[in-house]
Structure 1
């Protein structure tokens, strides 16, 4: 280990002694971040061979040159291809075969976009990638710094002629009208919120403002309905939504409101067919928090009084979404913590998709063309690589079209995936997804425990090539499905937000204690990890129960939650009031201050910690991690490693290339292996 001393940030006068770290781009701040990076590199220098071994090991499992499953649309198959050595997949199309198969004709394929060429070795994130309805033009958007501000481009697919649209502060979205000449796009306000919808007609100067959302809690988003016959402008906060609709054949007409916003009413419309008739389908919580499905006539914009119940609200089943085809509607449900697809074919009895595993991830990946009699499902489990399954809507017959390959020796049955339940402080049963090598059962093993628990997001079990490097070394992997997530429906989410946020931390602690009590692991062999709002979870757990574990990883952690929520000028703050509360209200201030990781750093021993931030992150600013680490350095009473790594050229999602991402994983795994004594 390095003998280099860690950098100590100076403490300024005032209530927040490390607020000076928020002065982006100043020499003092940059010097501190670079000093922390140098310290991190020095401390982990001895792990360089292990990192390289892990990188090669993980890369060796991935089929580096591969073809995505082509999607049929109109006269073409659209697909991507990854090539060994390239950071990004290339986008292609070829003529659609006469037999309607998925067979690619490489002799006739056309390269649509090569992000490798566009990235030129730097950061690159592709936002929109939308081909016009007449298949002649490609609209796409690029972020080249990680700040999630995009430049918009139009490419003529016949001539290759490229033009950048002269619009600034774009969120990256681009939506075509059916004339293949009119584009709708959104702009960001000063707080990085999509708030203004504009319409641009190709060949004309400028753009016309279509809509402006003044309420800082609401995001604006425009999309094409499943039928392709309607455009939907959705305005939604964390608790309320409002939708405006427009016939996609008349893009210069005005959007019309489907139902005026009403505080607490969330609804999400789509357009399709019911018994051969065009209809609006509206998923709404007006009958209960788990949502019901309504239908309404589509010959004109229906009033809310015309909405008729199609699928009633159910207390024990969450209706999370729906996919529409001409011959069926497919409901995405959540029951008992698991995702379920329920298909309602036209004129036939409804059925549920049958699956082989006890805990899994499942969603509709591609509803294909509206007239298609098939949809594609993505299915995976902790021990099963992702599969794309084709579902014949009328019969329910499934066909695995593609399974993500794992190179080298791999057998899914060598690993056992389990669903466990921990008992929280208030008696609530909290689900845990666990996977480990079958031959390690019955003995305590090193364990990597992951959590998130915010915004109603569900952490369904997923497969990871990289995770095999944990499992093969006898390390178990678990997900704590704490309250604040959406795994057990809307009530589960609400029980972990606002005044109930402490439940998320209590649940995570209960999951760790259960895994220790059941002999799966020990405190000395437990690593915990989380990112963004999951980093807040990790930070709070570290303050409240630091003795419970050996080491922790916090990625782009939302740990300075109180100061961030007190600054409405920061990106996304106002929109977050519905999730965390507005600390301008005294009781909310006290509540957040009681758990905020930065405020609650104590003079106590902490586990070893690796903290990762992105300098260009617009969601969780780099200084949250920097301030937290600075305070930990002066208050913690132990000599365990405390490392801060700031990616100076990345945003919220870390480095953009696939090999860059693997090196980040290798760094974290090597850190964990060193701390847990894994060889």
Structure 2
């Protein structure tokens, strides 16, 4: 059996800093050696990996059609075909009867990513049709580094023009003249810092807005009414919006409210009582947000009027606008809620069948449509696209993601449980298992994230069935730092309170063991990106509590990354983790950073995955962490590092490659848990 690679140790505070020397032969040789070691260690599972891949693929309808979206004279939709990595994008004439029936004889192919990818990496940043339906603007990343090239396609002739701009963030927003595009540019730290305006047929682009503050990301989007363009500059804690008419793309933007530290607001434009109106979701009254409105003529902050007051028990996460209704996306008791306020009827909330679920507005369709679409799914229920009739509240399932082969959602039990953190806080856990699995200790896969206020609402997975059907329990720890129980839950797991994220996760693991769902030696934990930091931290704190760990693009070199302002996105992260140039913050991050806190103790088997072109979490974070683990730990458990040399933060881009990645992960768990397949 091939020996594990041993990384060279340098003198100094960071003995593996040399792994940051991108593109050098020494670094590439080391990463390739780690990949070869993984392949050698997993060779006995090669047949199992292929069987898992075919099993997961067999549940997915490989040739399928998305739900068509009506817009103007067309239906827009995607079609997947067996053997293709990416869906193709189409449109066909919209039926006069208002149905969603496709006329395949008259359909037009808009874009085929399979041809554009050429067998390599491909990510589409934007795919946007001009308001007259004559042009398609799209952006492509072919490296995984999230730097995009911009293109415009004339749909009548098929002619494609690449726009002569570099360092683009992939965004492209049309003005109403069908000729002008607004797009974002990245600075040297990979931050979207500037919005530029380009008119087709003219040379160059002119600056519309620039934010020199390294904490702020700048974006541009169209309002729901299609009448306004909105430029938003947003840090982790503060925002500022500038607006201009979509009909007058050369107009000077107007600021709705100059930035004020810790004031976040998000504007949209719609209709109120038949009149054009601004709607502003703002935290000026409290952390759970309120909704204000302002006239189109007087949109600035001094003219805002309250519409939906702040509620200390309910978070207003979003507001979707329609000509005849206001749709509120709320979070209450840890669950998403959609409340509809029709213009001519009483407000109501959507009724749903499961105790724990994911729910969001997926498509508001046209601004004057009498319906919207919502996406609903649960751990044991595939995603459904439901049409909601706004005036009456009537729901209709238009499409349910198919599961090929034998599948009965009622064969799986979905539960919500609560653990108690060391400070007495109750932490929710969502879990799913086959009915016959519950009632006895079983292998359990516990997933966590806990950062940026991101909520881990329960989701369905075709691949996960391969674990559940082999007797696994799957659970989500809704730890502080996420937004699962609202803004206060997020704030209780960031900056000086970051340790709560880790102790919450440990409390969830201990609860699942104490309640007989699993045993420590059968407990696998997993997280990616900031969730990988979580995994690295709890492994240092309580390695004996876990039987295996998977860390995907893990943010484990936290302190060194936050000390380097030249790295992409570092300065923007100060509001999430703190600025370690402050000695007190430095000590705090140093106290939990996974890389620095690796110690001479036994760790469970670990699989780490990195993307060489990842601009968010650099490849060397996982590489340095694994190198230090190899040199420091006291065990000889399986320790594997896979670096995707042609991918970025999201891994390889094709749908079949994603299934192969899942098959590797599952085969790793079955191997280390000695579960014969």
Shorter-chain TM-score category? over 0.9
Aligned counterpart, 1:537: 534
Can you give the 5+ residue segments of structure 2 that lack an aligned partner in the other structure? none
Aligned counterpart, 1:204: 202
Aligned counterpart, 2:574: 577
Aligned counterpart, 1:162: 160
Aligned counterpart, 2:380: 383
Matches within 5 A, 1:117-132: 117-132=115-130
User: What SS class does the counterpart of residue 584 from structure 1 fall into?
Assistant: coil
Distance in 1 separating the partners of 2:50 and 2:427 = 37
Shift in Å at residue 424 of structure 1? 0.4
Aligned counterpart, 1:511: 508
User: What SS class does the counterpart of residue 659 from structure 1 fall into?
Assistant: helix
Q: Does 1:15 align with 2:13?
A: yes
Q: Does 1:133 align with 2:131?
A: yes
TM-score of the two chains, using structure 2 as the length reference: 1.00
Q: Does 1:654 align with 2:651?
A: yes
Q: Does 1:324 align with 2:324?
A: no
Aligned counterpart, 2:472: 475
Aligned counterpart, 1:430: 427
Residue pair 1:256, 1:301 contacting (<8 A) in 2 also: no
Tell me the matched-pair count: 676
Distance in 2 separating the partners of 1:177 and 1:474 = 54
Residue pair 2:255, 2:300 contacting (<8 A) in 1 also: no
Post-superposition Cα deviations, 1:264-319, rounded to whole Å, max 9, x if no partner, equal 00000000011111110000000000000001111x24221211110000001000
Q: Residue 87 of structure 2 is aligned with which of 81, 86, 89?
A: 89
Aligned counterpart, 1:240: 238
Which aligned runs of 4 or more in structure 1 are off by greater than 3 angstroms? none
Aligned counterpart, 2:623: 626
Aligned counterpart, 1:598: 595
Distance in 2 separating the partners of 1:233 and 1:391 = 30
User: What SS class does the counterpart of residue 59 from structure 2 fall into?
Assistant: coil
Distance in 2 separating the partners of 1:305 and 1:256 = 14
Shift in Å at residue 675 of structure 1? 1.5
Aligned counterpart, 2:178: 180
Aligned counterpart, 1:275: 273
Shift in Å at residue 674 of structure 1? 1.3
Q: Does 1:455 align with 2:452?
A: yes
Distance in 2 separating the partners of 1:19 and 1:639 = 24
Aligned counterpart, 2:260: 262
Q: Residue 607 of structure 1 is aligned with which of 604, 607, 612?
A: 604
Distance in 2 separating the partners of 1:303 and 1:462 = 39
Matches within 5 A, 1:522-561: 522-561=519-558
Distance in 1 separating the partners of 2:217 and 2:478 = 27
Shift in Å at residue 347 of structure 1? 2.1
TM-score of the two chains, using structure 1 as the length reference: 0.99
Distance in 2 separating the partners of 1:303 and 1:137 = 34
Shift in Å at residue 677 of structure 1? 2.8
Distance in 2 separating the partners of 1:117 and 1:496 = 44
Greater Cα offset, 668-677 or 610-619:
668-677
Post-superposition Cα deviations, 1:537-556, rounded to whole Å, max 9, x if no partner, equal 00000000000011000000
Distance in 1 separating the partners of 2:122 and 2:136 = 18
Aligned counterpart, 1:40: 38
Aligned counterpart, 1:356: 353
User: What SS class does the counterpart of residue 507 from structure 2 fall into?
Assistant: helix
Post-superposition Cα deviations, 1:413-469, rounded to whole Å, max 9, x if no partner, equal 000000000000100000000000011121111100000000000000000000000
Post-superposition Cα deviations, 1:550-576, rounded to whole Å, max 9, x if no partner, equal 100000000000000000000000000
User: What SS class does the counterpart of residue 415 from structure 2 fall into?
Assistant: strand
User: What SS class does the counterpart of residue 564 from structure 1 fall into?
Assistant: helix
User: What SS class does the counterpart of residue 293 from structure 1 fall into?
Assistant: strand
Residue pair 2:344, 2:391 contacting (<8 A) in 1 also: no
User: What SS class does the counterpart of residue 174 from structure 1 fall into?
Assistant: strand
Residue pair 1:535, 1:554 contacting (<8 A) in 2 also: yes
Post-superposition Cα deviations, 1:152-211, rounded to whole Å, max 9, x if no partner, equal 000000000000000000000000000000000010000000001100000101101111
Distance in 2 separating the partners of 1:297 and 1:137 = 33
Shift in Å at residue 610 of structure 1? 0.3
Residue pair 2:67, 2:399 contacting (<8 A) in 1 also: yes
Q: Residue 306 of structure 2 is aligned with which of 291, 306, 309?
A: 309
Matches within 5 A, 1:659-674: 659-674=656-671
Matches within 5 A, 1:404-443: 404-443=401-440
Distance in 1 separating the partners of 2:417 and 2:460 = 18
Distance in 1 separating the partners of 2:668 and 2:300 = 58
Residue pair 1:258, 1:301 contacting (<8 A) in 2 also: no
Distance in 1 separating the partners of 2:628 and 2:416 = 38
User: What SS class does the counterpart of residue 44 from structure 1 fall into?
Assistant: helix
Post-superposition Cα deviations, 1:338-395, rounded to whole Å, max 9, x if no partner, equal 0000000002111000000000000000000000010000000000000000000000
Q: RMSD of the TM alignment (CA)? A: 0.5
Aligned counterpart, 1:297: 295
Distance in 2 separating the partners of 1:104 and 1:474 = 42
Residue pair 2:449, 2:482 contacting (<8 A) in 1 also: yes
Distance in 1 separating the partners of 2:179 and 2:544 = 61
Distance in 1 separating the partners of 2:28 and 2:438 = 48
Aligned counterpart, 1:6: 4
Distance in 1 separating the partners of 2:586 and 2:162 = 45
Distance in 1 separating the partners of 2:10 and 2:320 = 55
Q: Does 1:344 align with 2:344?
A: no
Distance in 1 separating the partners of 2:3 and 2:543 = 23
Can you give the 5+ residue segments of structure 1 that lack an aligned partner in the other structure? none
Residue pair 1:526, 1:676 contacting (<8 A) in 2 also: no
